[in-house]
Amino acid sequence: STTGGDGDDNVDVAGAKSIYMVSDGTGWTVEHSVSAALGQFDHCLVDRGCPVNTHLFSGIDDVERLMEIVRQAAKDGAMLVYTLADPSMADSARQASKLWGIPSTDVLGPITEAIASHLGVVPSGLPRGAPGRSFPLTDEYFRRIEAIEFTIKQDDGALPQNLQKADIVLTGVSRTGKTPLSIYISQKGYKVANVPIVMGVELPKSLFEVDPEKVFGLTINPLVLQTIRKARAKSLGFSEETRSNYSEMDYVRDDLEHAGRIFAQNPVWPVIEVTGKAIEETAAVVLRLYNDRKQRCSMPRISKRY
Amino acid sequence: STTGGDGDDNVDVAGAKSIYMVSDGTGWTVEHSVSAALGQFDHCLVDRGCPVNTHLFSGIDDVERLMEIVRQAAKDGAMLVYTLADPSMADSARQASKLWGIPSTDVLGPITEAIASHLGVVPSGLPRGAPGRSFPLTDEYFRRIEAIEFTIKQDDGALPQNLQKADIVLTGVSRTGKTPLSIYISQKGYKVANVPIVMGVELPKSLFEVDPEKVFGLTINPLVLQTIRKARAKSLGFSEETRSNYSEMDYVRDDLEHAGRIFAQNPVWPVIEVTGKAIEETAAVVLRLYNDRKQRCSMPRISKRY
Ligand SMILES: Nc1ncnc2c1ncn2[C@@H]1O[C@H](COP(=O)(O)O)[C@@H](O)[C@H]1O
Ligand SMILES: Nc1ncnc2c1ncn2[C@@H]1O[C@H](COP(=O)(O)O)[C@@H](O)[C@H]1O
Ligand SMILES: [Mg+2]
Ligand SMILES: [Mg+2]
């Protein structure tokens, strides 16, 4: 329930409370954490009982700008949430907030300290992008970019001859979210291909030739699918006729039943219910299953090495 | 410096310390926070002085599985980092960790409590995806998906007639990261188009007809670009000849100079140096500039409404 995107010129709602978020880096970590925490207040955010404005200040690596932001936060009656790698900057944020009487929360410090004593290593205190920190062009970096580029090229059933090169293949009817899901997963370093299931269109042979353990079916509640298709047809400016066919309930049901039969014929493919799930939630389910199948661990997990 | 992607079967390095991450949701928030904090230990992670294994357990919404994970963490000599919306689950994680003698950090609790007292509202305590929480198909949701789909279709200079529909247009020579950057930004709800600058290929007229305030040039150090191109040419299996041309230093320099002249002729376009920046870092710079231009605020920020 954010506005995001277009950068609201006029973001301050009367009576809205403000959250100031400050980072010496990109700000994406603090934004992610605040956004998750705000999920705990959906019941009042949604009906506008307690609208909230967030303001993200990124790349803040000098104490003067930090102080200016804290002062402004105090004026706005805002709270402060920050990630500042330099301990003296983090201290300044804490102390200035106290001085100006605003609540403040350090998102990075507690985890960093816990990891430091776990590893027995002193943290660098250097923000990302600090001079002297060089960004290594690691294999991981190249692999991730390759995964994204692969995934874009395979979108919407393109290049079915390459399915075997994919780590993960998603399949389902139109508007089950295959494209955004593929993209989300690709950014985690997996090559994803997606293959649409369309009545009257033969599926590529290669879909049935690849390792079935990497194929995932997507399904969705017909009413929700209809809603999404109506919105889609409208935004694409489909003609009345195409539109009614594409999003008509009988057609929607037939489409899902047709996909259901294909899924039944391929029982190794897990079928994931996407109704009511955000893209990143479906991604979590896919990657959990994918990793379980690879690792066959007693306790399902996704592991990485740093 | 993560392995990511392919789901390592064999992730445990001898002597590596483990971090167990637990969420009742997707786990992406705790993973993001831990990954940022691990940036503070790059100096020892990179040279493998202190390798770290992370293990992400997502969708953990019952206390039995939680206890099992804590016990396993204790066996592995791991620390625990968690996001658990239900306060009784969070309590159990804290107490069990204490009992088993492992360090633990709550990532969600402190921010949620701070926001709760700031707003004067009690948090729901409901994990995302909990029964009864329905996912609203908001305008924001549709807009974001449309942005991703738009961005994929415009990749690599495709459909130049649509540049005017883009919120942001990225331009630069091959391998400046236009594609992954476009995708990253699109997921935040912006329609992004990217236009490659290639010597001997005319740029689309529309690039010079759109609002120049939404166009961003990307530039990069020639040596770094050469390294990236060499890796790229190899992975694409270019012939020796094409490869040497594409990644030869003289060609790389000419390419960048050619782009530099175009940037000089369009002084409104900011030129962003991507050398040494991760995709999300360049994205932060682009979005900061984009929002500043839109808002012309005294203090640059990115604002959202919840
Ligand atoms: N690779 C890294 N090296 C050092 N610090 C980092 C790294 N990534 C993130 N951080 C720090 O973690 C916090 C969150 O980063 P960001 O998400 O870029 O705002 C900031 O204080 C950054 O300086
Ligand atoms: N929209 C939401 N509503 C309620 N809780 C959420 C929401 N998004 C994230 N959370 C909670 O925030 C924490 C991090 O979420 P995740 O990133 O999915 O692991 C978990 O405890 C989730 O239950
Ligand atoms: Mg699609
Ligand atoms: Mg590209």
Q: Report chain B residues whose CB lies below 8 A from the CB of A35.
A: 306
Choose one of A28, A29, A140 to mutate for the ligand 1 pocket test, by most ligand atoms within 8 angstroms of C-beta: A29
Distance CA A168, CA A212 (A): 10
Low pLDDT (below 70) residues in chain B? 1-14, 241, 243-244, 297
Instruction: State residue A14's pLDDT score.
Output: 66
Q: Indicate the average pLDDT of chain A.
A: 92
Distance of residue A79 Cα from the nearest chain B Cα, in angstroms = 7
Instruction: State residue A262's pLDDT score.
Output: 98
What does the DSSP 8-state code read for residue B204?
P
Return the SS3 of A31. Answer: helix
Instruction: State residue A8's pLDDT score.
Output: 42
A24 CB contacts (<8 Å, ≥6 apart)?
A59, A60, A61, A83, A84, A85, A86, A89, A127, A128
Place A48 in a pLDDT band, splitting at 50, 70 and 90.
Answer: confident
Task: Tell me, in angstroms, the distance from the centre of ligand 1 to residue B45's CA.
Answer: 15
Mean pLDDT over A2-18 rounds to: 56
The ligand 2 atom at the shortest distance from the C-alpha of residue B85 is 21
* Cβ <8 Å between B148 and A180: yes
Q: Give tens-digit pLDDT for B220-265.
A: 999 999 999 998 888 777 777 676 688 899 999 999 999 999 999 9
CB atoms within 10 A of CB A177: 21
Instruction: Give me the residue from A85, A137, A294 closest to B40, CB to CB.
Output: A85
Distance CA A170, CA A215 (A): 6
Q: Report chain B residues whose CB lies below 8 A from the CB of A284.
A: 25-28, 58-59
Q: Give tens-digit pLDDT for A150-186.
A: 999 999 999 999 999 999 999 999 999 999 999 999 9
Higher pLDDT, B271 or A12: B271
Closest CA to A273 of A176, A188, A135, A185: A176
A74 pLDDT higher than 50: yes
* Cβ <8 Å between A32 and B34: no
Q: How many CB pairs under 8 A join A and B?
A: 376
Q: Is the CB of A10 under 6 A from ligand 2?
A: no
Question: Residue A54 burial by CB count (10 A; 0-12/13-18/19+): exposed, middle or buried?
Answer: buried
Distance CA B306, CA A41 (A): 10
The ligand 2 atom at the shortest distance from the C-alpha of residue B127 is 23
Q: Give tens-digit pLDDT for A100-146.
A: 999 999 999 999 999 999 999 999 999 998 887 777 788 889 999 99
Instruction: State residue B13's pLDDT score.
Output: 55
Instruction: State residue A113's pLDDT score.
Output: 98
Q: Give tens-digit pLDDT for A185-235.
A: 999 999 999 999 999 999 999 999 999 999 999 999 999 999 999 988 887
Instruction: State residue A13's pLDDT score.
Output: 55
The ligand 2 atom at the shortest distance from the C-alpha of residue B27 is 19
B229 CB contacts (<8 Å, ≥6 apart)?
B174, B175, B246, B247, B252
Instruction: State residue B244's pLDDT score.
Output: 67
Reported ipTM: the value is: 0.94
> Which residue puts its alpha carbon closest to atom 9 of ligand 2?
A36
Q: Report chain A residues whose CB lies below 8 A from the CB of B90.
A: none
Q: Give tens-digit pLDDT for A250-285.
A: 999 999 999 999 999 999 999 999 999 999 999 999
Strands B192-196 and B271-273: unpaired
| Residues with a beta carbon under 5 angstroms from ion ligand 4 | B 156, 178-179
A55 pLDDT higher than 60: yes
Distance CA B10, CA A260 (A): 36
